[in-house]
Amino acid sequence: MEFKAIIDAKTHAPSDCAVVGVYENGDLDAAARNIDAQTGGLIRQLHAGGDFAGKTGDTLLLPRPAGAASARVLLVGLGPRAGFDRKQYRKALLSSAQALAKTGAADSVVYLALEGIAGVEVQYRARMVAEIFSAQGYKIPDLKSGAKPKPAKLSSVSVAAENARTVKAAANGLKIGAAIGSAMAMSRDLANLPPNICTPTYIGQRAESLAKEWPRIKTTVIDKNGIKALKMGAFLAVAQGSAQPPRLIVCEYHGAKKTSAPICLVGKGITFDSGGISLKEPPAMDEMKFDMSGAATVLGAMRAAAELALPINLVVIIAACENMPSGGAIKPSDIVTSMSGQTVEILNTDAEGRLVLCDAITYGRRFKPAAVIDVATLTGACVVALGHHLSGLMSNDEALAAEIAAAGIRADDRAWRMPIADEYVDQLKSNFADLANVGGREGGACTAASFLSKFAAKLAWAHLDVAGTAWLGGSQKGSTGRPIPLLVDFLVNRARSR
């Protein structure tokens, strides 16, 4: 999908479909007023006659309205005018995208970004158009044997802006939104693929093709022997029960001078988490194919950085393996030595994410990073705490935590700060090793993060627990691509401010 920004507030450029807004009280946005005048008051009549109430997200398609410059007009309800907010705006965009997909329109002009929203600049209003239209057009990798769905007709969306200044801001927003859209599609593809296809080896190959596609990215895939040589005893322990070999995947993006300290993104890449010997229950075990979502999203963030040519350095580190039970698998009470030298007593083989991440974080130190952010579907406890709406955010650095939380708010991909503390580390005491890998049910998301904090000493480090946000279950089952909007916003903001 191609996105463009055009100056078109007064006129009403001809297109296959104009998308215009109507408020509940009958107020029309500027473009709707225009078309209303061109069509002899058609839109006002529809509202007054009760045919279009303007409820948030309602749509009504007007095919070939006599007098209008465009072939179709899509009315979209904006809801109450007073306090028109980002939620209403997003909902209106989503239903516009859904309704447009059911028409034959190949191109469209969306006028909704002309509407003011308190606290949301035009750049973000345009960005949301690209993000939402891209996400709406996303299709799960097709492994069904039936007839192939027809490719989408809509290939070009223009966003109307008021003047030379705002059209520039809108174009910039569209660029960012489109990069987020492509990154999310790539990441969702990886996460939605079944684990017999999306193996650690496969993720490594995808990271290599990303480097082929984007010359500023360099990918290094380290195999089992290399991981052994690095003394990543915790990571290897998780991998040892599986027939699939592990991969440590390192992608470096160079967009700034060599001496500029990189941001390091670390992703949990468990391509299937059976729980291991501490086997999970059958219901919903299939969803543990999504346990590599952290890996997929950090790779997506790297793709977006490359597409946007951000003037920063970025390193992505992915620890990819399966967590399986077998005769060779780790057992509860096994003790392993992590790359950091700290020993860990594995009391529950299902707490494997922290084991692979602790070594990946330690590996990150060699890049002397300005900040390290790990992204992981780490704990069911985080889902209990925050549900499926917000990601968990833990950090040893106040400024970094605030920066990430702010990025999440701007990107509509929020994260909520949760604690790490010595008291949680105390729950991880072991009689036999430096640390146990579990600390009881209580505060499970916090003990997991506090475990990681023991490997992040003296780093500016943050942890995003995306167990509740990375995918949806039920009839909507599938990857969401979160927290890519947050991560990309964070990176764009870093690029701008340094």
- Is 494 labeled as catalytic in the residue annotation? no
Interface stretch with Zn ion, choices 5-13, 188-196, 268-276, 483-491 (CB under 5 A): 268-276
Token representation of residue 293: 């979502």
Length of the chain: 498
Position with the least CB separation from ligand BES: 380
Coil, strand or helix at 68: coil
Residue 273 in contact with Mn ion, rule: CB under 5 A: yes
Q: Which is nearer to ligand BES, 109 or 378 (CB)?
A: 378
Contact 354, 378 (CB under 8 A): yes
Contact 291, 321 (CB under 8 A): no
User: Pick the catalytic residue: 354, 410, 454, 482?
Assistant: 354
**H or E segment and range at residue 30:** helix 30-38
Residue 492 in contact with ligand BES, rule: CB under 6 A: no
Residue 322 in contact with Zn ion, rule: CB under 5 A: no
Mark residues 376-415: x for contact with ligand BES by CB under 6 A, - for none. -xxxxx-x--------------------------------
ω into 483 cis (within 30 of 0) = yes
How far apart, in whole angstroms, are the C-alpha atoms of residue 228 and residue 244?
Answer: 16
DSSP H helices in 427-478? 444-453
Q: Which is nearer to ligand BES, 79 or 443 (CB)?
A: 443
- Is 280 labeled as catalytic in the residue annotation? yes
Interface stretch with ligand BES, choices 111-119, 154-162, 343-351, 363-371 (CB under 6 A): 343-351
Contact 261, 430 (CB under 8 A): no
Residue 353 in contact with Zn ion, rule: CB under 5 A: yes
# of chain residues touching Mn ion (CB under 5 A):
3
Interface stretch with ligand BES, choices 65-73, 105-113, 225-233, 347-355 (CB under 6 A): 347-355
Token representation of residue 215: 């010359």
How far apart, in whole angstroms, are the C-alpha atoms of residue 92 and residue 96?
Answer: 6
Q: Per CB under 6 A, which of residues 237..296 are in contact with ligand BES?
A: 273, 291
How far apart, in whole angstroms, are the C-alpha atoms of residue 293 and residue 466?
Answer: 8
Q: Which residues pair with 267 in a beta bridge?
A: 318, 375
Residue 322 in contact with Mn ion, rule: CB under 5 A: no
Residue 478 in contact with ligand BES, rule: CB under 6 A: no
Token representation of residue 110: 């969306």
Binding-site member from 8, 36, 291, 322 for Zn ion (CB under 5 A)? 291
Q: Which is nearer to ligand BES, 253 or 272 (CB)?
A: 272
User: Pick the catalytic residue: 44, 168, 231, 280?
Assistant: 280
Contact 278, 349 (CB under 8 A): yes
Residues identified as active-site: 280, 354
Contact positions vs ligand BES (CB under 6 A) = 273, 291, 348, 350-353, 377-381, 383, 438, 444, 467
